[in-house]
Amino acid sequence: MDNLFTALFEIMSFGAIVVLVVLGLGIIASMMGIFNFAQGEFVLLGAYVTYVVHNAGAPVWVGMAVAPFAVGALGFVMERLVVRRFYAAPIVAMLGTYALGLIIREIVRGLIGGLYISVPEPIGGSVNLGTMHFSSWRLVIIVITALVMASSYLLLARTPFGLRIRASLENPSLARASGISTNAIYGATFAFGAALAGLAGALIVPVFSLFADLGLRFLIQGFVAVMVGGVGSFAGPVAGAGVIGTLAAALPWVIPPVIADVLVFVLAIVFIKFRPQGLVSGRGV
C-alpha cells in the first residue's frame, strides 16, 4: 500500500514536470505553427537565471520569479530578430530555432564551465506520512503546474487577448483585416511560450541540477508529447505531455529501465500510426 502511494506520487510529479516543460512548447506549436527547437534552451536559460540570481546572494525564489520575465523578454527579442523571418517556411524555422538553441546551449556551457551545479530548493526536505517520504519541492511543482495550466487555459480561452491569439492562428488575413496586429500577437505569444519555459526551468533546476544539456534532455520528450497530443489546440500538447511523462516515469517500475526508455517512443509511434491527428484533434483551445 505504501509502495503504491509512493509510486503514484513519484509518477505524478514527473508527469507534472513534463507537462510544465511542454506547456510553452505546445502553445508556440499550436498557436503559431512553429516548432521551436530552442524551447529546451529557454528551459535551460530559466534554470541559469535562477542560478545566477541565487549566486549573486539573493534567495532562490527571487531567481525563480525573475526567470520567466527574463526568458520571456529574450524570447520577444528573438522573435523580432530571427523567428519572424521564418513564418513562411516552417521547416526552415526548425533549423533556425535549432541553431539558436545550439548557440544558447554552448554559451551557457561556457559560462558554467561545463559543470553540474546544484541549486537549492526554496522549500527543501520531505513531507513524511508514516514510513512514506514525499519530496516537498515536487509537491510544490505539482501545485504550480496545475495553477499555470489553469491560468494559461483561462488566458487563451476567456480573455480578449486569447481571442486575438486564436483569431490570428485560425485566419491571419481576416484577423489583420479586423484590426488585429498579427505581428504583435505573434511576438507576444512567442514571448509567453518562452516565459513558460523559463518558469519550468526555474522550477526544475533544484530537482535536476544545472547543466548545459538540461533542456535538450526534455526536447525530444516534448516533441513526442506534442505529436501524441495533437498540434493545434491548447489541450492537445498538455494531454500528450501528461501521457508521455506518466509513461516515462511509470514504466521503470515494472520493466527494466533500458527497455522502458525505448518502449515509450515505440508506443508513441504506434499510437500516431493509428491516430495521426493525436489525442485531441481540432483547433482552438
Partner 1 sequence: MCSDHRKPNRRRFLSNFAFAGTALATGVGSWVIRPDWANAAADPIKVGIATDLTGPIGYAGNADANVAKMVVKEINDAGGLLGRPLELFVEDTASNESVAVGNVRKLIQRDKVDLVVGGVTSSMRNAIKDVIVARGKTLYIYPQLYEGKECTPYLFCTGPTPAQQCDEFIPWLIKNGGKKFALPSANYVWPHTLNVYARKVIEANGGEVIFEEYYPLDQIDFSATVNRIISNKVDVVFNTVIPPGVGPFFKQLYEAGFLKNGGRLACVYYDENTLNINQPAEIEGLASCLDYFKALTPEDPVSAKIQAAYDKQFPGTFLFAAGSAATGTYRGLKLWETAVKEAGKVDRDAVAAALDHAKIAEGPGGPAEMVPGKRHCKMKMYTAVAKGGNYEIIARSNGLVDPKEC
Give residues in contact with partner 1 (CB under 8 A): 3, 6-7, 10-11, 14, 84-89, 106, 109, 112-118, 120, 124-126, 128, 133, 135, 207-209, 211-214, 217, 248-249, 252-253, 256-258, 261
- Min dist CB 148 to partner 1, Å, is 20
- Min dist CB 157 to partner 1, Å, is 26
Which residue, 7 or 155, has its beta carbon nearer to partner 1?
A: 7
- Min dist CB 79 to partner 1, Å, is 13
CA pair distance 32, 186, nearest whole angstrom: 7
Are 194 and 74 in contact, with CB atoms under 8 Å apart? yes
Which residue, 86 or 153, has its beta carbon nearer to partner 1?
A: 86
Which residue, 18 or 194, has its beta carbon nearer to partner 1?
A: 18
Which residue, 32 or 228, has its beta carbon nearer to partner 1?
A: 32
Nine cell digits for residue 224:
513526442
- Min dist CB 224 to partner 1, Å, is 14
Which residue, 35 or 234, has its beta carbon nearer to partner 1?
A: 35
Q: Residue 128: in which H helix or E strand, if any?
A: strand 126-129
Question: Closest Cα partner for 20 from 135, 190, 146?
Answer: 146
Question: Closest Cα partner for 30 from 159, 161, 189?
Answer: 189
Which residue, 65 or 117, has its beta carbon nearer to partner 1?
A: 117
Which residue, 69 or 209, has its beta carbon nearer to partner 1?
A: 209
CA pair distance 130, 121, nearest whole angstrom: 24
Q: 264: which residues sit within 8 A by CB, 6+ positions away?
A: 224, 244, 247, 248, 251
Can you tell me which residue has the cell 480573455?
A: 159
- Min dist CB 222 to partner 1, Å, is 14
CA pair distance 241, 102, nearest whole angstrom: 24
- Min dist CB 236 to partner 1, Å, is 24
CA pair distance 161, 189, nearest whole angstrom: 10
- Min dist CB 32 to partner 1, Å, is 12
Q: Note the Cα 31 to chain centre separation in Å.
A: 15
C-alpha Rg value of the chain to the nearest Å: 19
Backbone angles phi, psi at 128, to 5 degrees: -105, 130
Which residue, 106 or 170, has its beta carbon nearer to partner 1?
A: 106
Q: Note the Cα 46 to chain centre separation in Å.
A: 11
- Min dist CB 3 to partner 1, Å, is 7
Nine cell digits for residue 176:
489583420
